[in-house]
């Protein structure tokens, strides 16, 4: 099986490094959304929309990146 580190990034018009940085940034935002949702689960009176708003923005970002 041939593994290409550049095939997918190239399809998105990115270099490997650009794709790596985007993916790491995206991942950090998912972690922040997770933390907001976890805090909200225990304290429902705070961070009411934070996790959902982050997830919605991430969804828009991914949908706009499609080839």
Is pLDDT at 46 greater than 80 in this prediction?
A: yes
- Can you give the pTM of this predicted structure? 0.85
Three-state DSSP class for residue 7:
helix
Query: For a pLDDT cut of 70, what percent of the chain falls above it?
Result: 99
Is pLDDT at 5 greater than 80 in this prediction?
A: yes
Cα dihedral 20→22→28→31 (10° resolution): -100
Alpha-carbon span 30 to 54, nearest angstrom: 8
34: Cα within 13 Å, side-chain hemisphere: 6
What is the per-residue pLDDT across 18-40, written as a single tens digit (0 to 9) for each?
A: 999 999 999 999 999 999 999 99
Is pLDDT at 67 greater than 80 in this prediction?
A: no
Is pLDDT at 1 greater than 90 in this prediction?
A: no
């Amino acid at each position: 099986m041939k593994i290409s580190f550049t095939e997918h990034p190239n399809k998105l018009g990115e270099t490997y490094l650009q794709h790596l940085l985007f993916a790491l940034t995206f991942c950090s935002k998912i972690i922040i959304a997770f933390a907001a949702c976890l805090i909200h689960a225990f304290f429902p009176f705070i961070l009411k929309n934070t996790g959902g708003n982050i997830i919605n923005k991430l969804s828009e970002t991914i949908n706009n990146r499609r080839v």
